[in-house]
Amino acid sequence: MSIKSAAGNPLSVLKRHLHAACAATALLLAAGSLAEAADLNALIWCDHSDPALLQPFEEANNVKVNVKEFEGTGAGLAIVEQSQPGDWDVMVIDSIDVPRGVEKGLFEPLPEDKLPFADLFPQVKMDGSTVVGGKRYGITEKFGYNTIGFNKTKVDPADMQSLASLTSDKYKGKVAIYDYYLPVIGMAALAIGKKTADLTEADLPALKEELLKMKANAKLVGEVTASQTALATGEVDILVGGGEWVTAGLAKENPALDFSIPKEGAVLWSQSLAMFKDSKNKDMALKFIQYILSPEGQARLATSSCYWGMPSNTKAALTDDQKKILRFDEQPGFLARAQSYPAPNAELDKKMQDMWTEMLQAK
244 near 322, Cβ under 8 Å? no
37 near 66, Cβ under 8 Å? no
User: What pLDDT sits at residue 160?
Assistant: 97
Helices (H), 39-83: 51-61, 73-81
Share the mean pLDDT of the chain.
Answer: 89
| CA distance to 84, 162, 337, per residue, from 266 (Å) | 39, 10, 7
- For the segment 132-155, the average pLDDT, to the nearest whole number, is 97
Q: In whole angstroms, what is the distance from residue 130 CA to residue 62 CA?
A: 30
Q: What is the dihedral of CA 191, 197, 198, 200, to 10 degrees?
A: 90
User: What pLDDT sits at residue 14?
Assistant: 33
Q: Say whether 132 sits in a helix, a strand or coil.
A: strand
**Would the CATH topology of 38-141+268-328 be identical to that of 144-265+339-359?**
yes
- E strands along the chain, which residues? 40-44, 65-69, 90-94, 107-108, 131-132, 135-136, 139-151, 175-178, 218-222, 238-242, 257-260, 266-276, 310-311, 338-340
Does residue 268 carry a pLDDT above 50? yes
Does residue 23 carry a pLDDT above 60? no
Q: Domain-by-domain residue ranges, the chain?
A: 38-141+268-328, 144-265+339-359
* pLDDT-based confidence at residue 19 (cuts at 50, 70, 90): very low
User: What pLDDT sits at residue 37?
Assistant: 45
User: What pLDDT sits at residue 224?
Assistant: 82
More confident residue, 32 or 235: 235
Does residue 1 carry a pLDDT above 90? no
47 near 304, Cβ under 8 Å? yes
Q: In whole angstroms, what is the distance from residue 292 CA to residue 297 CA?
A: 4
Does residue 11 carry a pLDDT above 50? no
104 near 77, Cβ under 8 Å? yes
pLDDT, one tens digit per residue, over 277-330 is: 999 999 999 999 999 999 999 999 999 999 999 999 999 999 999 999 999 999
* pLDDT-based confidence at residue 7 (cuts at 50, 70, 90): very low
- E strands along 112-264, which residues? 131-132, 135-136, 139-151, 175-178, 218-222, 238-242, 257-260
- For the segment 137-155, the average pLDDT, to the nearest whole number, is 97
User: What pLDDT sits at residue 238?
Assistant: 97
User: What pLDDT sits at residue 27?
Assistant: 39
Does residue 359 carry a pLDDT above 50? yes
User: What pLDDT sits at residue 77?
Assistant: 95
Q: In whole angstroms, what is the distance from residue 246 CA to residue 225 CA?
A: 10
Q: In whole angstroms, what is the distance from residue 239 CA to residue 144 CA?
A: 15
Given the candidates 3.40.190.10, 3.40.50.1370, 1.20.58.760, 1.10.8.60, the CATH classification of the domain at 38-141+268-328 is 3.40.190.10
Phi, psi of 65 (to 5 degrees): -100, 110
* pLDDT-based confidence at residue 225 (cuts at 50, 70, 90): confident
pTM for the full predicted model: 0.84
CATH architecture of 144-265+339-359: 3-Layer(aba) Sandwich (3.40)
pLDDT, one tens digit per residue, over 78-137 is: 999 999 999 999 999 999 999 999 999 999 999 999 999 999 999 999 999 999 999 999
Q: In whole angstroms, what is the distance from residue 155 CA to residue 171 CA?
A: 8
Q: In whole angstroms, what is the distance from residue 200 CA to residue 223 CA?
A: 26
User: What pLDDT sits at residue 164?
Assistant: 97
User: What pLDDT sits at residue 90?
Assistant: 98
User: What pLDDT sits at residue 248?
Assistant: 87
Q: In whole angstroms, what is the distance from residue 286 CA to residue 264 CA?
A: 39
Residues above pLDDT 70, as percent of the chain? 90
Does residue 220 carry a pLDDT above 50? yes
In b/e form, how buried is each residue of 229-251, taking b as 16+ CB within 10 angstroms? ebbbeeebbbbbbbbbbbbbbbb
pLDDT, one tens digit per residue, over 204-219 is: 999 999 999 999 999 9
